Amino acid sequence: MTAALLKDEGWNLAAVPMQTVIMNQFAIALKETKSAAPLLAIPARTISDDGYGQRGCEVPEIGPACVERLTAETVFRAKRSVRDGKVSYWDDHNLYSPWNGAPVLFDLCD
């Protein structure tokens, strides 16, 4: 599973695949401290696939709909860490790290 984080200050975060099946999770950092941040989960939008929806590329669904998703169910806390000058977040399930803005691979076949 992979995860990605988008920060509202203009820079983006993404994660590195950690399993055979590649599933992406996207989120926006709502506020940041030295040790943690509340993250808002946002959906992914498929931009290409293999015709069956099993493999392809996706991007975070960013826009006004993100504000509508701001509920207790979609906001969660993640621990912040910095390694070699790069910020990442861990929510006990996913590691969120910088996203380069390019479409991210997903692969539901194992």
Alpha carbon distance 48, 58 (integer Å)? 7
Question: At 68, which helix (H) or strand (E)?
Answer: helix 65-68
Alpha carbon distance 27, 6 (integer Å)? 6
The pLDDT value recorded for residue 78 is 96
Token reading at 9: 């200050």
Span 60-88, pLDDT tens digits: 998 887 778 888 889 999 999 999 999 99
What average pLDDT does range 89-98 have in this prediction?
A: 90
Q: Which residue is it, tokens 């969120």?
A: 96
The pLDDT value recorded for residue 7 is 47
- Of the candidates 43, 32, 46, 27, which has an alpha carbon nearest to the alpha carbon of residue 95? 27
